[in-house]
Amino acid sequence: MINNIRKITHSAVLIPLCCGVLIWSATAYGAVAPVVTTLSSITEGTVTPVRIAADQTGNFYVTDQRGGGVLKYNSAGNLLQKIVTTSKNILGIAVAKGGEILVSQGISVAVYSAVGNPVRSFGTFGVANGIAVDSAGLIYVTDSKNNNVQIFNVDYSLQKTFGVTGSGNGQFKQPTGITYEKVSKQIAVTDTLNGRIQFFTTAGVYQSSVGSFGSGPLKFTSPQAVAFDYSADGTTLNRIYVVDSFQANVQVIDAASSSFLRYVGSYGTRGGQLVTPGDVLLDSFSRLIIPNGAGSLVLFGVTAASTAAQSGGTAASFPVAPTGSTPPTLTLNPLSGITKNSTIAISGTVDSGSTVTVNGVSAAVTGGNWSITASLPQQGLNSLVIIASKAGSTSTVNAYVTLNTVAPLVAVSSLPVTGSTTGTPILTVSGSVTDITATTVTVTAKNSSQTVPVNELRVYAVCSVSGTTA
């Protein structure tokens, strides 16, 4: 289960979140939703995996504070080495152009040799978090406390800093993950408390953003990281993968149109489920590798992904789930993201001869159509796991619906005293709203009304309870 507390405040002047269309330097064509297969998880050495990065040879590195520091795995998922870090306060990780391992360690970034020996540290941060390295070797580090990104040269000298606190274009509220997008030569920054991904040039100039705060397609509650899926020749960006630790899933987005394609994963502790995931890596074998808060690396095979395997080997060299015939094609008709009813009618299409279940309950299948009235058992976000089965193969679609049957609670913290007078024609009214889906507040004075968005500040806590889910 997920328990959450949100405090949402508003003021008379607010800046709404931005959702833009991404512009890429190469010709873009609409991508299709990938077919996703759950693979065997990796548990060797993992205790609290946080972030992940890969090198040119297919090895990948995972920061794990309780697991000993940095865990190094080969492309087959075998633990090769534990790199003991000089600090236990570790978060982000990246591999520098020269092969050095870069690790965020609180107020600085530590540099380790390719064999794991400490070399030096650089930078001064409030909280150093995500790290990215571009094709020229420049290093980008998010500072989650100071709400900016610092750029360093290849020799680790500071080049510049960009970003300030806020919700406008180019502003941040707790930036976390950061990734270099090689086709457009842009930097993607996960702007966590603003619920979006912002794109910048390598010089730190704002370009565009995608997403907004909330639940449902193209909405994020706690986005943490981004991965990119390219064509086989590496010249076209096809899909964007965004991991959300609060919603415990990955959203797949079409890079050409910024449209939602599908979810990957859902909340839980069973195979293919996630608990506060912290990062996402799409490796050269078209496998999503996700550091999972439940103490493992969760893997998905993305069979429709077009990432070229450049490091040798095949996907079969990794632990994989049993294979059968071609997975059935499964679709879900458009679905409302918020409802006040405890049940919801959902439907879609599926290959003839398939069976469909929703959260383990069989749906009615007639020809190529399926339907069911599904229960929404809990107030707040509910996960719907839709599985189609045919001839031993399965396809999965995840949907999320928020049940809200409670009226918003409004508290006013700043309001003129009743009966008082003022010479100011404009009054500021402020307060807070307690509600899981509140988006606007309307203030009416006589015949004049003003509606403002509820998005100036969000503070939330996540509490995860491990165990077997029904």
Q: pLDDT for 412-449, tens place per residue?
A: 777 777 777 777 777 777 777 766 556 677 877 766 77
The region that residue 337 occupies, defined by phi over 0 for left and psi between -120 and 50 for alpha, beta otherwise, is alpha
pLDDT of residue 438: 63
Place of tokens 């992904």: 305
Tell me: do 132 and 178 sit in the same domain.
yes
How far apart are alpha carbons 239 and 139 in whole angstroms?
24
**Residue 135's domain spans which residues?**
17-317
**In degrees, to the nearest 5, what angle opens at C-alpha 159 toward C-alphas 155 and 162?**
140
Query: At 122, which amino acid appears?
Result: F
Tell me: do 89 and 232 sit in the same domain.
yes
Boundary-marking domain end, from 353, 387, 403 = 403
Which CATH number goes with the domain that contains 374?
A: 2.60.40.10
Pick from 182, 136, 180: which is nearest to 26 by CA?
Answer: 182
pLDDT of residue 65: 86
- Which helix (DSSP H) or strand (DSSP E) does residue 329 occupy? none
Strands 164-165 and 171-172: parallel
Q: Does residue 445 lie within any of the structural domains?
A: yes
- The whole-angstrom distance between residue 279's C-alpha and the CA centroid of its chain comes to 7
User: CA separation (Å) from 67 to 49, 70, 72, 281?
Assistant: 8, 8, 11, 19
How far apart are alpha carbons 260 and 454 in whole angstroms?
24
User: Is 193 in contact with 458 (CB distance < 8 Å)?
Assistant: yes
Pick from 142, 150, 237: which is nearest to 190 by CA?
Answer: 142
Tell me: do 447 and 397 sit in the same domain.
no
Q: Does residue 243 lie within any of the structural domains?
A: yes
User: Is 325 in contact with 393 (CB distance < 8 Å)?
Assistant: yes
- Which helix (DSSP H) or strand (DSSP E) does residue 20 occupy? none
User: CA separation (Å) from 220 to 71, 210, 250, 264, 433?
Assistant: 29, 10, 10, 14, 19
How many domains, in total, are found in the chain?
3
Q: b/e per residue, 146-156, with b = 16+ CB within 10 A?
A: bbbbbbbeeeb
Tell me: do 417 and 287 sit in the same domain.
no
Tell me: do 260 and 375 sit in the same domain.
no
Q: Does residue 196 lie within any of the structural domains?
A: yes
pLDDT of residue 370: 94
Place of tokens 């409030």: 126
Token pair for residue 195? 């619920």
For the entire predicted model, the pTM comes to 0.64
Q: pLDDT for 74-98, tens place per residue?
A: 988 899 999 999 888 899 999 999 9
Token pair for residue 265? 């994963």
Place of tokens 């988006």: 439
Burial class (CB in 10 A: 0-12, 13-18, 19+), 338: middle
pLDDT of residue 465: 31
Q: Does residue 292 lie within any of the structural domains?
A: yes
Boundary-marking domain end, from 293, 317, 341 = 317
Q: Does residue 151 lie within any of the structural domains?
A: yes
Tell me: do 198 and 218 sit in the same domain.
yes
pLDDT of residue 466: 30
Tell me: do 365 and 299 sit in the same domain.
no
Tell me: do 206 and 341 sit in the same domain.
no
Sequential pLDDT tens for the chain (470 residues): 333 333 333 333 222 223 333 333 333 345 688 888 888 899 999 999 999 999 988 899 999 988 889 999 998 889 999 999 988 889 999 999 999 999 999 999 999 998 899 999 999 999 999 999 999 999 999 999 999 999 999 999 999 999 999 999 999 999 999 999 999 999 999 999 999 999 999 999 999 999 999 988 999 999 999 999 998 888 999 999 999 999 999 999 999 999 999 999 988 888 889 999 999 999 988 899 999 988 999 999 887 533 333 333 333 334 444 444 578 888 888 777 788 899 999 999 999 999 999 988 999 999 899 999 999 988 777 778 888 888 878 887 777 788 888 877 787 777 777 777 777 777 777 777 766 556 677 877 766 777 766 653 332 223 333 333 23
- SS3 of 194, please? helix
Q: Does residue 323 lie within any of the structural domains?
A: no
Pick from 276, 390, 319: which is nearest to 73 by CA?
Answer: 319
Q: How large is the C-alpha radius of gyration of the chain? A: 23
Q: Does residue 262 lie within any of the structural domains?
A: yes
Query: At 161, which amino acid appears?
Result: T
Kindly give the residue spans of alpha helices, DSSP state H, lying in 400-467: none
Which CATH number goes with the domain that contains 25?
A: 2.120.10.30
pLDDT of residue 22: 39
Tell me: do 422 and 378 sit in the same domain.
no
Boundary-marking domain end, from 251, 285, 317 = 317
pLDDT of residue 13: 29
Tell me: do 395 and 261 sit in the same domain.
no
Tell me: do 65 and 196 sit in the same domain.
yes
pLDDT of residue 325: 56
Strand stretches in 19-166, DSSP E: 36-38, 49-54, 60-64, 69-73, 79-83, 93-95, 101-105, 108-112, 118-122, 128-133, 139-143, 148-152, 158-162, 164-165
Pick from 64, 382, 92: which is nearest to 247 by CA?
Answer: 382
Tell me: do 392 and 416 sit in the same domain.
no
Q: What is the sign, positive or negative, of the torsion defined by CA atoms of 233, 238, 321, 363?
A: negative
Q: Does residue 8 lie within any of the structural domains?
A: no
